[in-house]
């Protein structure tokens, strides 16, 4: 007998949808607050340059562990309690980062922060479960808008707060926001308890491998988004270096404003969700992938260094972010249309695959810019969504769409 949930899908009230979108953004931002502060935090804690990357990497590792080993629990235990428990862990980790003056405590807190932040990937399938099929794309799109806003706003916010106060203030502020959000969720979020008949944690994890093998939609959508997120990570790893270079001579505050402008790309999420609800996933996917490819090409339309060229670069960031956000929504809409009792595990696998692409993109961005400047960076960046598009088109060649 398959486990069934004790709640029936309904369209969430607008306030609940907005609340969950805000929650997703506030939680996801914690993954990226430290990214523009790596040099400053490393110097403050006495971390050697060769190990400075661990300031961010350990949080990413913790997030990956949480996605693989805790997110699947959404199919096993009551979701509201699980979300609040992980938010509590996140708050403790943020306070630990805020007071850290030594390397080991900072690294331990950074790892735990990533684990707790994986709560965001329990919120998303929770919302999908509580939503009727006809509106699921729209609701998931709203949550993805919140996710991308959190990711994109985290970098400029942390830079500006550090300029005004110190890097410690960034983590204290986030802990305060998380505490407020946890209290609001405790008061207003409906419970969702899956019936875990004949299902134990060990069997839950073991089943993930079988799901990956037996679910072609998951594999394909995971690879598409891994390529797209790789392009996103590459761009936002390399573009601050480009803006700091003699070509533009921008300050850290100006780069923060540039990142604020890129947030506009998140508006594509609800539109992508609506297109998916109308059965237009295929053309929406193609348009999103083409926009990501074009985003790298348009940066070469003008001679770099001028104010107009900088404006084109801002436009390219918006175009890229819009494409990545759209395919993320379309992918999650597709996998959430599968068996509801598997949503936690399916989402965990989906995000894990995306995480691999993002890690490769981050490395490729730093490598490409150091070896070939912006020209090589854009060539490799465009290759990521191009590979996704070619693979997507093979759905017709392999007959996947007829299965």
Of 107-111, 251-255, 331-335, where does the model show the most confidence? 107-111
The per-residue DSSP string of 150-198 comes to: HHHHHHHHHHHHHHHS-HHHHHHHHHHHHHHHHHHHHHHPPP--B--TT
- Band (pLDDT 50/70/90 cuts) for residue 2 is very low
- Band (pLDDT 50/70/90 cuts) for residue 262 is confident
Q: Which CATH class is domain 14-402?
A: mainly alpha
Which residue in the block uniquely carries the two structure tokens 């969430």? Answer: 12
- Mean pLDDT of the 272-291 span: 89
Per-residue three-class SS string for 220-257:
HHHHHHHHHHHHHHHHHHHHHHHHHCCCCCCCHHHHHH
Is the pLDDT at 148 greater than 60, yes or no?
yes
Three-class SS of residue 305? coil
- Mean pLDDT of the 65-90 span: 93
Considering the entire predicted model, what is its pTM? 0.80
Q: What pLDDT is stored for residue 164 in this prediction?
A: 85
Domain ranges for the chain: 14-402
Which residue in the block uniquely carries the two structure tokens 């949480």? Answer: 66
Beta bridge partners of 194: 5
Q: What is the pLDDT of residues 342-401, one digit of tens each?
A: 888 888 899 889 988 888 888 888 888 888 999 999 999 999 999 999 999 998 776 655
Is the pLDDT at 11 greater than 70, yes or no?
no
């Amino acid at each position: 007998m398959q486990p069934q949930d004790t709640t029936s899908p309904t369209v969430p009230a607008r306030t609940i949808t907005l609340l969950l979108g805000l929650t997703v953004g506030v939680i996801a931002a914690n993954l990226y607050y430290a990214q523009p502060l790596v040099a400053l935090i490393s110097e403050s804690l006495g971390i050697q340059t060769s190990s400075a990357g661990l300031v961010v990497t350990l949080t990413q590792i913790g997030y990956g562990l949480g996605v693989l080993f805790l997110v699947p629990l959404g199919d096993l235990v009551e979701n509201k309690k699980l979300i609040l428990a992980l938010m509590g862990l996140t708050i403790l980790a943020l306070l630990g980062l805020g007071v850290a003056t030594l390397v080991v405590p900072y690294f331990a807190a950074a790892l735990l922060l990533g684990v707790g932040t994986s709560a965001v990937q329990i919120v998303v399938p929770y919302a999908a479960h509580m939503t009727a099929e006809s509106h699921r794309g729209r609701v998931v799109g709203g949550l993805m808008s919140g996710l991308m806003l959190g990711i994109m706003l985290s970098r400029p916010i942390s830079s500006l707060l550090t300029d005004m106060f110190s890097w410690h203030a960034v983590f204290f502020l986030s802990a305060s926001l998380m505490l407020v959000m946890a209290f609001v969720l405790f008061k207003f979020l409906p419970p969702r308890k899956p019936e875990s008949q004949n299902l134990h944690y060990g069997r839950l994890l073991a089943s993930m491998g079988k799901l990956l093998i037996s679910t072609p939609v998951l594999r394909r959508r995971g690879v598409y988004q891994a390529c797209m997120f790789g392009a996103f990570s590459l761009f936002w790893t390399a573009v601050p270096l480009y803006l700091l270079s003699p070509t533009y001579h921008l300050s850290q505050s100006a780069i923060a404003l540039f990142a604020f402008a890129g947030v506009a790309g998140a508006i594509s999420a609800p539109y992508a969700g609506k297109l998916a609800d109308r059965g237009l996933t295929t053309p929406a996917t193609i348009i999103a992938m083409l926009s990501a490819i074009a985003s790298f090409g348009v940066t070469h339309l003008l001679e770099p260094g001028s104010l107009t060229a900088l404006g084109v670069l801002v436009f390219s960031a918006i175009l890229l972010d819009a494409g990545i956000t759209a395919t993320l929504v379309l992918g999650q809409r597709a996998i959430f249309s599968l068996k509801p009792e598997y949503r936690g595990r399916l989402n965990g696998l989906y995000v894990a695959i995306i995480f691999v692409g993002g890690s490769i993109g981050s490395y490729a961005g730093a490598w490409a810019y150091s070896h070939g400047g912006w020209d090589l960076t854009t060539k490799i960046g465009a290759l990521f969504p191009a590979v996704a598009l070619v693979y997507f088109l093979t759905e017709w060649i392999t007959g996947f769409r007829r299965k």
